[in-house]
Amino acid sequence: QSALTQPASVSGSPGQSITISCTGTSSDIGGYNYVSWYQQHPGKAPKLLIFDVSNRPSGVSNRFSGSKSGNTASLTISGLQAEDEADYYCNSYTSSTTRIFGGGTKLTVL
């Protein structure tokens, strides 16, 4: 079971928007709307940002948004801030009833 495919790194300047992609297959992302995204700062536990493809938990900034098209999910961060610099992971439910993470994307705020 290979990890979902994410770009290793993305970068952007403060105030800009960036998008992180997460590509899977019809057996995971393409087959279910159980896609979630997590933010992880160094030395910290991951934090839930997005669930069910595009829903934000209470307390998460509306600068974070999620979407899905076919087998690819995306996380968009608008109005980049220095505090957004972190690692980001996608996750999906699979047809095998397992869960699978993406390899992670390091976001650098220039």
Partner 1 sequence: QVQLQESGPGLVKPSQTLSLTCTVSGGSISSGNNYWTWIRQHPGKGLEWIGYIYHSGSTYYNPSLKSRVTISGDTSKNQFSLKLSSVTAADTAVYYCARENDSMCFDYWGQGTLVSVSA
Which residues of this protein are in contact with partner 1, per CB under 8 A? 1, 3, 32, 34, 36, 38, 44-48, 51-52, 55, 57, 89, 91, 93, 96-104
Which is closer to partner 1, CB of 79 or CB of 94?
94
Shortest Å distance, C-beta 69 to partner 1: 19
Q: How distant, in Å, are the alpha carbons of 40, 52, 80, 104 from that of 44?
A: 6, 23, 20, 15
Which is closer to partner 1, CB of 69 or CB of 99?
99
Shortest Å distance, C-beta 31 to partner 1: 12
Largest CA distance in the chain: 40
The DSSP result for 82-107, as a single string, is GGG-EEEEEEEE-TTS-EEEB--EEE
Q: How many CB atoms lie within 10 A of CB 7?
A: 17
Shortest Å distance, C-beta 34 to partner 1: 4
